[in-house]
Amino acid sequence: VKKIIVLGSGMVGSAIALDLHKRHSVTATDFNQQALDALKLRDNIATMRLDCSDHHALKKAVSGFDLAVCAVPGFLGFKTLKALIEAQIDVVDISFFPEDALELNALAIEKDVTVVVDIGVAPGLDNLILGHHNASMQVDFFECLVGGLPSARTFPYQYKAPFSPADVVEEYLRPARLYESGKIVTKPALSEPEYVEFADLGTLESFNTDGLRTLLYTMSHIPDMREKTLRYPGHRDQMLALRSAGFLSDEKIEVMGVEISPREFTSKILFDSWKLGDNEDEFTVMRVTVKGEGQTHVWDLLDRTDHQTHTSSMSRTTGYTCCAMVESVLSYKWKQAGVSPGEIVGGDAKIFADILEFLGERNICLKHHKSF
């Protein structure tokens, strides 16, 4: 039994705490007491109210623990992770912060702590898969198609946001960086739409988003790499319309004598429109394609809301991948000073197999298809 502190008890953080609690001594923390109370109702987990932006309190809180899971909101992630490294505790991080995690690599080596970042479903599982193939062959193509979608296709957006609509809107605005013929190229978000067929789902639409993250730097030897978001056909048209008409602009306009940011206004409207109801089903779909040496590997994932435990597929796929990684670190199977994203960890065949097994035990099944 190890002592784990989980920072952030949101939707995913809670799922992580509940799973780890079955085998370890877990303390869940959050800034918001209500989130902790809700978690308490589900299981008898130790909780602690904690403001992670108070680094003094944070460092004090984590002392004595074997490992920290960092599941705080993205905007807090980088600084929280830095403080944790300074406190010399091993960390598995799924805060998906916008800054470059590899900037903390030198500090983590200096402090001799093992840090694994971006280890959810995507980024996370797709990075592990790429790392796995990259260790055994010359990869020349990588593509990750991924989406979290509601089962019910409700007009007009056919979409519900598992996280803040403002973050989704940001994904539809930030230019996408991808590799083409060995060079990083930048394309508009929502560009290059393609219909893609999925068993049990039918046709979805993919488009460019800026999701390669650490792969841009760690896998720069792969000439073609891209990440695309999946949505129901029609969603992209609606969002492109909003964007091109100016509804997502940051340039304030005057309405009723007040200067208003269209983007903030629209995020507010979408917040209501995109809220997933308590009893609404959702699913996570991902298709990772890795090519090289004449082989094509396709990995398909489809995971749905778990009604038994009331756990969303987004929490399951992100949270349990993180949990699997926690086990590998706690058992010292993965022990490497520095900051490692999934593509580095995935190069270890044993850990890759362990993670897939761990997910399989929780009914998250990746289908692997190899062709020539």
Interface residue list for a second copy (CB under 8 A) = 155-157, 237-238, 240-241, 244-247, 253-256, 258, 260-262, 264-265, 268-270, 272-273
Six token digits for residue 130: 């790429």
Q: State the helix-helix crossing angle for 74-86 and 55-62, rounded to 10 degrees.
A: 60
The answer to whether 323 and 100 have CB atoms below 8 angstroms apart is: no
Q: Strands, DSSP E only, in 45-104?
A: 46-49, 67-70, 90-93
Structure tokens at 45: 């987990």
CB of 261 to a second copy, least distance (A): 7
Helices (H) and strands (E) in the chain, counts: 13, 18
Nearer to a second copy, 155 or 372 (CB): 155
Nearer Cβ to a second copy, position 152 or 269? 269
Identify which of residues 10 and 188 has a Cβ nearer to a second copy in the complex.
188
Which of 260/365 has CB closer to a second copy? 260
171 residue type, one letter: E
Q: Distance from CA of residue 29 to its chain's centroid?
A: 20
| Lookup result for tokens 């990075």 | 127
CB of 145 to a second copy, least distance (A): 25
- Tokens representing 125 are 């599982």
Q: Rounded to 5 degrees, what angle do the CA atoms 343, 344, 348 make?
A: 105
Helix residue ranges, H only, the chain: 11-20, 33-42, 55-62, 74-86, 105-110, 125-134, 165-171, 215-218, 235-245, 262-273, 313-330, 342-345, 349-361
Rounded least distance, CB 97 to a second copy, Å:
24
The C-alpha angle with vertex 174 and arms to 249 and 325, in degrees rounded to 5, equals 135
Q: State which residue, 273 or 295, has the beta carbon closest to a second copy.
A: 273
Q: Which amino acid is at 131?
A: G
Q: Indicate the residue among 213 and 243 with the shorter CB distance to a second copy.
A: 243
Nearer to a second copy, 249 or 336 (CB): 249
Shorter beta-carbon distance to a second copy: residue 46 or 166:
166
Round to whole Å and give the CA distance between 101 and 217. 11
Which residues are registered as beta bridge partners of 204?
A: 196
